[in-house]
Structure 1
Amino acid sequence: MASIAVVMTSEFEDIEFTAPKKSFQDAGHTMTVISFAKGQELKGKQGEAVVTSDLSIDEANPQQFDALLIPGGFSPDQLRADHRFVSFAKDFMFEDKPVFAICHGPQLLITAETLQGRKVTGYISIQQDLKYAGATVFDKEVVTCGNLVTSRVPDDIPAFNQASLAKLAN
């Protein structure tokens, strides 16, 4: 089964972490939450989820993981301002490992400069930014391009989870 890194900090979109987490764990995959500090309490922006980080970004090695999940909310915008998270995400994209980004999650991939020539989707407010990053943007519930799976909003989570699990099965 796959070992999935999750990069996030407080103000993540609660359901965009909790629903994929349940789906991945039900399928037997393990998840490791990576944030600025190990043991950090991360609060979802809806106030429904509180998560404790398993590792700090300084302890995390992309080579230890099979896939990457980037939940949306305000978290990706905070992470993209830190070169360590940008580099971490870039490693997954360059190694062609599965990357799952929902809502504002692709913002981290924009900053990592890894979307040129990719087919993606994301929250409506970042779709123009995705185009500027060189991606072809679709307004669909899920877009899969190689090992990259992207979705727009919480309503897309069932399709997002299904496409993500299909990538993990390969």
Structure 2
Amino acid sequence: MSNALNGKRFAFLATDGVEQVELVEPLKAVLDAGGETDLVSLEREFQGFDHLDKADRFTADRTVDEVSAHDYDGLVLPGGVANPDFLRQDADAIGFVRDFFEQHKPVGVICHGPWTLIEADVVRDRTLTSWPSLRTDLKNAGANWVDEQVVVDEGLVTSRKPDDLPAFCAKLVEEFAEGKHAGQHAAA
């Protein structure tokens, strides 16, 4: 156990349909590095999935309408197909995500999670990766999409899939320990 994140607090934004392993593995990595975490969601309870099968239910610490990016040192957006689709339709969730970029705070996103970033209009002129089916969506939103295990662009850490979790978690903790990114692009 490291103490690289002692004294820092991180939000994990997820809702029904979240790919469970993409939530719990980064959460464990942040906790193991000494960070504090809050599960933030649209509702108090949400359903995790193992691909297309229901997995565990989770209880959120806070709902997205109760939080502010000012309360946190960084944000994680796990994937799953339904999770980011629900999040990108919620104005509070989009505002919450956008605020992390405006405050130049590190953000980690995996799999289908970048759909939420597209809606928040924070991918333009950034290099990132995702689940391959999002490539065209990301390019159309102005991003430079690459097919790599983990990509870092000024505090934005992205990965493609559950198999990338070891590299994603390691890079996420590293970027979270680094903190603010003054050169990070603000939302448009």
Could you say which TM-score interval applies, normalised by the shorter chain?
Answer: over 0.9
How far the C-alpha of 1:31 sits from its partner, in A, is 1.0
**Is 1:146 the equivalent of 2:154?**
yes
**Is 1:58 the equivalent of 2:83?**
no
Q: Identify the residue that residue 164 of structure 2 maps to in structure 1.
A: 156
How far the C-alpha of 1:45 sits from its partner, in A, is 1.6
- For 1:154 and 1:44, locate their aligned partners in 2 and report how far apart those are by CA, in whole Å: 14
Letter aligned with residue 30 of structure 2: F
- For 1:148 and 1:68, locate their aligned partners in 2 and report how far apart those are by CA, in whole Å: 10
Helix, strand or coil at the partner of 1:44: strand
RMSD between aligned alpha carbons? Answer: 0.9
Within 5 A, what are the aligned runs for 1:9-24?
Answer: 9-24=15-30
- For 1:43 and 1:85, locate their aligned partners in 2 and report how far apart those are by CA, in whole Å: 17
Moved >6 Å (runs of 4+): none
Q: 1:42 aligns with which of 32, 40, 46?
A: 46
How far the C-alpha of 1:95 sits from its partner, in A, is 1.1
- For 1:31 and 1:121, locate their aligned partners in 2 and report how far apart those are by CA, in whole Å: 25
Letter aligned with residue 10 of structure 1: D
**Is 1:80 the equivalent of 2:88?**
yes
Q: Identify the residue that residue 33 of structure 2 maps to in structure 1.
A: 27
Gaps of 5+ in 2: 1-5, 179-188
Q: Return 15-24 or 46-55, whichever deviates more.
A: 46-55
Helix, strand or coil at the partner of 2:122: coil
Query: CA-to-partner distance for each residue in 1:87-136, whole Å, 9 max, x for gaps?
Result: 10000011110000000111111000011100100001111101111111
Q: Identify the residue that residue 125 of structure 2 maps to in structure 1.
A: 117
- For 1:36 and 1:109, locate their aligned partners in 2 and report how far apart those are by CA, in whole Å: 16
Q: 1:100 aligns with which of 105, 108, 112?
A: 108
Q: Identify the residue that residue 134 of structure 1 maps to in structure 2.
A: 142
- For 2:56 and 2:177, locate their aligned partners in 1 and report how far apart those are by CA, in whole Å: 28
Q: State how many pairs are aligned.
A: 168
Q: Return 147-156 or 41-50, whichever deviates more.
A: 41-50
